[in-house]
Amino acid sequence: MNDRRIDHEALIVGAGFGGMGAAIEFTRLGIEDFLILEREDDLGGTWHVNHYPGLAVDIASVTYSYSFEPNPYWSRLFAPGAELKKYAAHIADKYDLRRRMEFGVIVEQAVWDDDGEFWTVRTHDGRTHTARYLVTATGFLSQPHTPDFPGIDSFAGDIIHTTDWRDGYDFGGRRAAVIGTGATAVQLIPEIARRARALTVFQRTPIWVVPKVDFPIPRPVQHLFAKVPLAQKAARAVNTSLLEMLMVFGVLRYQQAKPGNQVAALLAKTHLRLQVRDRETRKALTPHYDFGCKRPTFSNSYFRVFNQQNVALETGTIDHIEPDGIVTADGTKILADTLVLATGFNLWDVNFPAFQIVGRDGRDLGQWWRDGRFQAYEGITVPRFPNFLTLNSPYSYSGLSYFTTIEGQMKHIGRLFGEMRRRGTRRFEVTERANADFLDRVTKNLASSVFYAGDCSGSRSYYFNQHGEATLLRPESTLTSLREQASFPLDDYEYA
Ligand code: NAP
């Protein structure tokens, strides 16, 4: 091995919570020589990119944070987005990660050199970096989806995608059109409805919305969390358990616990019944697929806006866009001077992986996943990709809070690198057998989930890939997943 050809021990792509989690784990393992490359101009991932009005976490903050780095000072149970960005900055400073980050760097390709045993990473500015280990932490929801509606380029007003928000944009006196009714739209629409002269919401698929039990966390409680961390840990345990029940009984064990799923749907339907006066509108807002097929959301204000005089729900298919409005398939034209694209993200075409990754024997990861099945052992490693950790992988997402996924992966990295140290080796590769066994197991487990045992037709859920397989979520409780990440058989890897 020619170490002179290696610039860094490890390269991490992505400076969001996933990339920072991997960096913290490397630091714990004594691997200090790593570089974090980030496409955006600052750290924080999704919490840097997204800053539309109404942005907040949709998992209570006691749970949506690193368990080893609690923040006692969340202002609300569901913290606003800006606090998450601040929390990310705090983590980077506390773990001294900022000096290891390079911003505005778009990685275009990574290729494994099997003789030299290193990765060569090429960036958009023509530079290359080499490293013994490569970690991709590029996020699931990081490639914005902008549908190419015919005529969109002719629109004379403003077009704003929610990931490219214009801070301070004033909807006062404007006729706004929002396309999309996902979790982002649900947070944003009440804010726009408050200011706009007219707002039309274009809905293709209704979303399940349950009430949001949210409130400011009083100062004395924040002080209590700061002074007695055990109190916040207890709050985290209670909240995480509730979410876990929702996930396991409502979604993953649908076949065995169908009533749990039905109760959740009933709660959402009752919420809608209590909030929207008009019967036809309620009907249009009611999903026709099972609860959990696509990620449900929480809101107390979304449904209510449809009672407002200035707000209309439009369920007609968008045919094309003209300079002054949107025309639906039946020829109706809705006038608009601001077009908001709350149209989400492209996961499966451009994001698995986010750039070309070529492993041993010339295996191209994206092509291999697409030609065969999307797969990754324990949602983190792939055969023929030595010294490669992919954090945003098929079957990696565990539970409802992304932090559970990250912390499970940190445990996996800790165990794997601990074993390499014990053996005095620096190369790992998951075996084809271990990968195939894991794929078989998750495939079997998924059979009883709402995705296969329920009715998800017409849900258009990003949980499903282009082959129609639900390959995003790890179909196990988070406890099982965390335990497995910390105790996987060490001979599932080959070391050299
Ligand atoms: P999304 O869930 O993918 O929603 C995109 C919306 O745009 C959908 O309603 C979709 O309709 C619609 N759409 C896309 N293309 C369209 C087209 N050609 N014509 C008409 N409608 C179209 O994206 P998102 O709302 O940004 O949310 C993504 C995820 O981000 C959430 O599930 C959640 O995990 C996360 N999120 C989290 C938070 C938080 O924690 N604070 C906030 C926001 C989002 P169809 O459903 O018919 O495809």
Q: Do 426 and 132 contact (CB within 8 A), yes or no?
A: yes
Residue 1 binned pLDDT confidence (cut-offs 50, 70, 90) = very low
Whether 3-143+347-495 and 152-212+255-289+299-341 share one fold: the answer is yes
Indicate if the pLDDT at residue 345 is higher than 60: yes
pLDDT tens per residue across span 400-416: 899 999 999 999 999 99
pLDDT bin (cut points 50, 70, 90) of residue 15 is very high
Tens of pLDDT along 132-165?
999 999 999 999 999 999 999 999 999 999 999 9
pLDDT in tens, 429-454: 999 999 999 999 999 999 999 999 99
In percent, how much of the chain has pLDDT > 70?
Answer: 99
> Which residues are CB-contacts of 253 (< 8 A; sequence separation ≥ 6)?
260, 448, 449
Backbone angles phi, psi at 371, to 5 degrees: -75, -30
Over residues 366-384, the pLDDT tens digits come to 999 999 999 999 999 999 9
Domain residue limits, the chain? 3-143+347-495, 152-212+255-289+299-341
Q: State yes or no: pLDDT of 2 exceeds 70.
A: no
Residue 4 has pLDDT above 70, yes or no: no
Helix, coil or strand: residue 398 = coil
Q: Would you say the CB of residue 210 lies under 6 angstroms from ligand 1?
A: no
Q: How far is the CA of 146 from the centre of ligand 1 (A)?
A: 11
Mean pLDDT, the chain, integer: 96
Residue 142 Cα distances to 38, 139, 278, 347, 348, angstroms = 12, 6, 37, 8, 11
pLDDT, position 249? 87
User: What's the whole-number mean pLDDT along residues 331-339?
Assistant: 97
CA of 346 from ligand 1 middle (Å) equals: 10
The rounded distance, in Å, linking the Cα atoms of 166 and 51 is 9
Q: Which atom of ligand 1 is nearest to the CA of 179?
A: 21
Q: pLDDT-derived band of residue 22, with 50, 70 and 90 as boundaries?
A: very high
Pocket residue to mutate for ligand 1, from 343, 346, 348, 463, most atoms within 8 A of Cβ: 343
Chain segment 247-293, per-residue pLDDT in tens? 998 899 999 999 989 999 999 999 999 999 999 999 999 999 999 99
CATH class of residue range 152-212+255-289+299-341: alpha beta
CB 170 within 8 A of CB 195: yes
Return the structure tokens found at 126: 């023509």
Q: What is the pTM (predicted TM-score) of this model?
A: 0.96
| φ/ψ of residue 426, rounded to 5 | -135, 10
| Terminal CA-CA length for the chain | 11
Q: Average pLDDT of 43-68?
A: 96
CATH superfamily of 3-143+347-495: FAD/NAD(P)-binding domain (3.50.50.60)
Nearest atom, ligand 1, residue 56 CA: 41
- How far does residue 145's CA lie from ligand 1's centre (Å)? 9
440 bridge partner residues: none
